[in-house]
């Protein structure tokens, strides 16, 4: 799901779909059926701020495709979220759930707000109002949100509580990524990064490289970035650089990830970490390293910086971090790019496990969750890699081909209503 430079994400998502359908030789009808989301709901959210002032925020929930199961996808709080972006992200969720073969369709939600400028009470009111507004289309069998940029377990708990209050009984399975105390899954918090780790380990196996010899740079130090740095470090790699939105820190001798996380908690940025060279956030893409994990926002690896990226492997923790122009530059340079719909699919995979556990009201150990995640990610990786080898295409193209084939098969089998 690399994004195009200077074009809107949804136009890009449609172009990727068109190209994949053409490559697969599928009927053009599939393009028309899969281009537009099944549902897109726009909501206005008037919230009383702590100052007493009433502010109205805009929000969206988009369900792209329900062919393979209930809609599934994160909720994003960011000042620059747009309907266009949410539509693109919902389509990408359809492909992601199909690549890892979990029985969901794709969805995404967003609220245009700046959570960094809002109090906890304001965020709670916004979340509850958003949930009430999209409630008619949410539900454990219809559409199941999860955390994304600037939303977390607490936000999921508020959504679950608001939904349950409206129903009159507790419905834990209406969200995933919720706290363990409320029916969350063990291992969900770090699942996206753990899936990314498994994908990196598979790649290293193919390239014949040992993780102990690898250096890593991670851009974004939230849920995905922090856990990616920590788990790759625990697996034996040396974390040499990390960045968040306020700046980056680089130390070729290696960073103590836990100490960096403490610095971020205390000062709100990793850049204040004393033991290393301070860099602008985007300079961290270009540091000397073997593995680069973009784990922030979309479009950040582009034609301006791609040729300066030194990493041999890029594992896309973020959604849509690489533009098409950058993809070509990286392809020519022989960089092994593990595309987002594969590299960060560990999150939705464990969300699926959480949903299953909730429906059964029977919970698994962390070892069990991680072992199943490993099996799922390994199978998806090898299916995609085998397809790439067979069709002589890059990994991203192969992942799209696998995903669109699965969704098209489901549509074909279900037929048309009426």
> Measured from the CB atom, is 142 or 245 closer to ligand NAD?
245
Closest separation in Å from C-beta 152 to ligand NAD: 7
Residue in 105, 109, 145, 317 binding ligand NAD, rule: CB under 6 A:
317
Residue in 86, 211, 224, 408 binding ligand NAD, rule: CB under 6 A:
224
Closest separation in Å from C-beta 332 to ligand NAD: 25
Residue 263 in contact with ligand NAD, rule: CB under 6 A: no
> Measured from the CB atom, is 183 or 317 closer to ligand NAD?
317
**273-302 binders of ligand NAD (CB under 6 A):** 281, 295-297
Closest CA to 11 of 239, 252, 283, 323: 323
State the first-to-last Cα distance of the chain, in angstroms, to the nearest integer.
33
Q: Which tokens is 398 given?
A: 């192969």
> Measured from the CB atom, is 14 or 228 closer to ligand NAD?
228
Closest separation in Å from C-beta 417 to ligand NAD: 32
**Nearest-angstrom CA–CA distance, 215 and 208:** 15
Q: Name the DSSP letter for residue 275.
A: S
The 10 Å Cβ neighbour count of residue 95 is 29
Give residues with Cβ within 8 angstroms of 21, minimum separation 6.
Answer: 28, 30, 31, 34, 404, 408
> Measured from the CB atom, is 34 or 343 closer to ligand NAD?
343
> Cis peptide before 418, with omega less than 30 degrees from 0?
yes
> Measured from the CB atom, is 162 or 349 closer to ligand NAD?
349
CB 353 within 8 A of CB 325: no
Residue 245 in contact with ligand NAD, rule: CB under 6 A: yes
**Nearest-angstrom CA–CA distance, 228 and 225:** 5
Residue 106 in contact with ligand NAD, rule: CB under 6 A: no
Residue in 162, 251, 319, 322 binding ligand NAD, rule: CB under 6 A:
319
Lay out the site mask for ligand NAD across 131-170 (x = CB under 6 A, - = otherwise): ----------------xxxx--------------------
Residue 219 in contact with ligand NAD, rule: CB under 6 A: yes
Closest separation in Å from C-beta 32 to ligand NAD: 27
Q: C-alpha angle 162/164/167, rounded to 5°? A: 115
**Nearest-angstrom CA–CA distance, 54 and 411:** 45
Closest CA to 159 of 138, 128, 186: 128
> Measured from the CB atom, is 211 or 224 closer to ligand NAD?
224
CB 74 within 8 A of CB 175: no
Closest CA to 112 of 161, 149, 145, 139: 149
Residue 244 in contact with ligand NAD, rule: CB under 6 A: yes
Closest separation in Å from C-beta 17 to ligand NAD: 19
| Residues designated catalytic | 108
Residue 225 in contact with ligand NAD, rule: CB under 6 A: yes
Identify the H or E element spanning 384: helix 366-391
Residue 220 in contact with ligand NAD, rule: CB under 6 A: yes
Residue 82 in contact with ligand NAD, rule: CB under 6 A: no
Q: Strand, helix or coil at 110? A: strand
Residue in 59, 110, 339, 347 binding ligand NAD, rule: CB under 6 A:
347
Q: What is the DSSP string of 334-379?
A: T-EEE-HHHHTTHHHHHHHHHHHHHHHT----HHHHHHHHHHHHHH
**Nearest-angstrom CA–CA distance, 410 and 161:** 33
> Measured from the CB atom, is 203 or 319 closer to ligand NAD?
319
**177-206 binders of ligand NAD (CB under 6 A):** 192
Q: Using CB atoms, what's the residue nearest to ligand NAD?
A: 222
With CB under 6 A as the rule, give the number of residues binding ligand NAD. 24
The residue ranges that bind ligand NAD (CB under 6 A) are: 147-150, 192, 219-225, 243-245, 281, 295-297, 317-319, 344, 347
């Amino acid at each position: 799901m690399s994004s195009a430079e200077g074009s809107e994400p949804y136009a890009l998502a449609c172009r990727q779909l068109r190209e994949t359908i053409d490559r697969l030789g599928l009927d053009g009808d599939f393009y028309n059926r899969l281009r537009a989301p099944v549902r897109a709901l726009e909501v206005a959210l008037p919230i009383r701020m702590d100052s007493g002032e009433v502010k109205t925020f805009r929000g969206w929930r988009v369900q792209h495709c329900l062919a393979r199961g209930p809609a599934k996808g994160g909720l994003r709080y960011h000042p620059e979220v747009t309907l266009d972006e949410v539509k693109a992200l919902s389509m990408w969720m359809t492909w992601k759930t199909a690549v890892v073969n979990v029985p969901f369709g794709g969805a995404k939600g967003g609220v245009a707000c700046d959570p960094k400028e809002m109090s906890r009470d304001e965020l709670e009111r916004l979340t509850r109002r958003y949930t009430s507004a999209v409630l008619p289309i949410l539900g454990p069998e219809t559409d199941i949100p999860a955390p994304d940029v600037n939303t977390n377990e607490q936000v999921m708990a508020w959504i679950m509580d608001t939904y349950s209050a409206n129903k009159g009984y507790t419905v834990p399975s209406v969200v995933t990524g919720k706290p363990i105390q409320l029916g969350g899954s063990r291992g969900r918090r770090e699942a996206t990064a753990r899936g990314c780790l498994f994908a990196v380990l598979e790649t290293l196996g193919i390239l014949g490289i040992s993780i102990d010899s690898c250096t890593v740079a991670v851009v974004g130090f939230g849920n995905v970035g922090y856990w990616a740095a920590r788990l790759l470090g625990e697996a034996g790699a040396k974390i040499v650089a990390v960045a968040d939105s306020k700046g980056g820190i680089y130390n070729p001798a290696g960073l103590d990830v836990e100490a960096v996380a403490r610095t971020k908690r205390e000062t709100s940025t990793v850049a204040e970490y004393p033991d290393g060279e301070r860099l602008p956030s985007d300079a961290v893409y270009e540091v000397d390293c073997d593995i680069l994990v973009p784990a922030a926002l979309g479009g950040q690896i582009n034609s301006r910086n791609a040729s300066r990226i030194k990493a041999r492997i890029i594992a896309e923790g973020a959604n849509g971090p690489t533009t098409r122009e950058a993809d070509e530059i990286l392809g020519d340079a022989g960089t092994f790019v593990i595309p987002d719909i594969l590299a960060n699919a560990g999150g939705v995979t464990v969300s699926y496990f959480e949903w299953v556990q909730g429906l059964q009201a029977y919970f698994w150990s962390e070892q069990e969750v991680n072992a199943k995640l490993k099996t799922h990610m390994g199978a998806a990786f090898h299916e995609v890699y085998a397809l790439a080898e067979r069709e002589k295409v890059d990994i991203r193209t192969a992942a799209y081909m696998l995903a669109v084939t699965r969704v098209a098969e489901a549509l074909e089998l279900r037929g048309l209503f009426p």
